[in-house]
Amino acid sequence: MKLFDVYPLFDITPVKAQGSWLWDNKGDRYLDLYGGHAVISIGHSHPHYVERLSEQLSKISFYSNSIKNPQQEELAEKLGNMSGYPDYQLFLCNSGAEANENALKLASFVTGKKKVIAFDKAFHGRTSGAVAATDNPKIVAPFNAGHEIVFCRLNDEQAFTEALDADVAAVIIEGIQGVGGIRMPNDSFLQFIDKKCKEKGCVLILDEIQCGYGRTGKFFAHQYAGIRPHIITTAKGMGNGFPVGGVLIHPDIKPWSGMLGTTFGGNYLAAVACLAVLEVMESEKLMNNTLSLGSQWIKEIQELVGRQNVRGRGLIIGFDLPDTKTTVRKDLLVKHRIFTGEAKPNTIRLLPSLALKAEEVDLFNEALKVELS
Ligand SMILES: Cc1ncc(COP(=O)(O)O)c(C=O)c1O
């Protein structure tokens, strides 16, 4: 059997990783400033993470959600306390798309409606169809034939107000758009949609899958705007590479047996991976590192490419390159052995580990200088 060829791959085969570094099968070392789409939050192969997962693997790795898993409860408590949402409820699943599917489903259960407002250049995942093909009225109502999505321009209060009619179940927005090119909703825009959703009785979903989990220096990006959405979705950095997703749910949304469900969600290994991430974030004060290092780095990149071309907060940073500089990402990788991400048409995306060091930032800045000269 061949692999289904859907990914444009770099011809690099990593065999080992530590902190912000990867080694390939030829012994070459690469600086990882992308973390496989913002996944590596505490650094590759962190010793505490490896120890916690290895220990759990030697005991029990999996049983379905039909029996108690105390580590899920421990995780919910720690995540609630560290994120500032101790009164919310946690539903665990396996990926970002699945977290968003469950969030939208909840919004429809709560409101009895299926219209959803999303924003231009948003990215919320790649699933569709599984629910629509499920014949179980208890699970799928009231959105059996799928949600109806309306797109608005980011930060356009008037367009949003016009779209927000009585049929809207939910508004879904990224705390900072990732795949869309590190585009930031204004704090005032987030406050505006939060207020409007509350007035209209529809559910505000904050997708924090790429920008959350400490990446901005606050636990969630939307916390800069001081809002408290009904639902927050998370994944990526949550497990530092272990596939896991989570939905944080307002206490007013009451669960009933069978309302949501998944086979693997919150299994023993996933729960321990998430706990280990939070433990390291706490003990190494990674959010402080993220904020101080990130703020300084943003200024340095602004000096290199122009203030107006740089966006981001903490360690989620994007910058646009001049139209003539079309090979910078490839050259950073091939000539300087530095992994970065991109967004179309010509934006570099930086999503390194929150444990990044100042000397690693310097290496990148030097390489970028060379490529821009
Ligand atoms: C903001 C956002 N939401 C959802 C997803 C989907 O996550 P997953 O690929 O884990 O399904 C992504 C993935 O890039 C994302 O960036």
Residue 101 Cα to ligand 1 midpoint, Å, equals: 11
Q: Can you tell me the mean pLDDT for 166-191?
A: 97
* Lowest-pLDDT choice from 51-60, 62-71, 204-213, 220-229: 62-71
214 and 290 in contact (C-beta within 8 Å)?
Answer: yes
Q: Can you tell me the mean pLDDT for 190-212?
A: 98
pLDDT, mean over the chain: 95
Share of the chain above pLDDT 70, in %: 99
Residue 19 Cα to ligand 1 midpoint, Å, equals: 23
Q: What is the best residue among 210, 240, 262, 264 to mutate for testing ligand 1's pocket, by most ligand atoms within 8 Å of CB? A: 210
* Residue 144: pLDDT over 90: no
Distances in Å between the Cα of 297 and the Cα atoms of 252, 302, 313, 341, 369 are: 40, 8, 10, 16, 14
Residue 37 CA, distance from chain mean position:
9
Distance between CA atoms of residues 27 and 30, nearest Å: 10
Domains and CATH numbers, the chain: 49-283 (3.40.640.10), 285-372 (3.90.1150.10)
DSSP letter at 28?
-
Query: Which stretches within the chain are classed as H helix?
Result: 35-38, 47-59, 70-83, 96-111, 137-140, 157-163, 187-200, 268-283, 286-305, 328-334, 358-372
Distance between CA atoms of residues 62 and 142, nearest Å: 32
Residue 48 Cα to ligand 1 midpoint, Å, equals: 26
Atom of ligand 1 lying closest to residue 208 CA:
1
* Residue 372: pLDDT over 80: yes
Question: With a 6 A CB cut-off, is 216 part of the ligand 1 pocket?
Answer: no
Question: With a 6 A CB cut-off, is 103 part of the ligand 1 pocket?
Answer: no
Share of the chain above pLDDT 90, in %: 91
pLDDT band at 128 (very low <50, low <70, confident <90, very high): confident
Residue identifier of the C-alpha nearest atom 7 of ligand 1: 96
Q: Can you tell me the mean pLDDT for 287-306?
A: 98
**Confidence (pTM):** 0.97
205 and 173 in contact (C-beta within 8 Å)?
Answer: yes
* Residue 370: pLDDT over 90: yes
What does the pLDDT read at residue 143?
73
What does the pLDDT read at residue 186?
98
What is the token pair recorded at 63?
Answer: 């049983």
Question: With a 6 A CB cut-off, is 96 part of the ligand 1 pocket?
Answer: yes
Question: With a 6 A CB cut-off, is 209 part of the ligand 1 pocket?
Answer: yes
Distances in Å between the Cα of 140 and the Cα atoms of 137, 165, 218 are: 5, 23, 35
What does the pLDDT read at residue 145?
67
Backbone dihedral angles phi then psi of residue 313, each to the nearest 5 degrees: -150, 135
pLDDT band at 141 (very low <50, low <70, confident <90, very high): low
* Lowest-pLDDT choice from 1-15, 128-142, 234-248, 320-334: 128-142
221 and 176 in contact (C-beta within 8 Å)?
Answer: yes
62 and 34 in contact (C-beta within 8 Å)?
Answer: no
125: region left, alpha or beta (phi > 0 left; psi from -120 to 50 alpha): left
What does the pLDDT read at residue 279?
98
Helix or strand or coil: residue 21? strand
Question: With a 6 A CB cut-off, is 56 part of the ligand 1 pocket?
Answer: no
Q: What is the number of helices (H) and of strands (E) in the chain?
A: 11, 15
* Residue 133: pLDDT over 90: no
CA dihedral of residues 301, 313, 330, 234 (deg, nearest 10): 170
Q: What is the pLDDT of residues 219-247, one digit of tens each?
A: 999 999 999 999 999 999 999 999 999 99
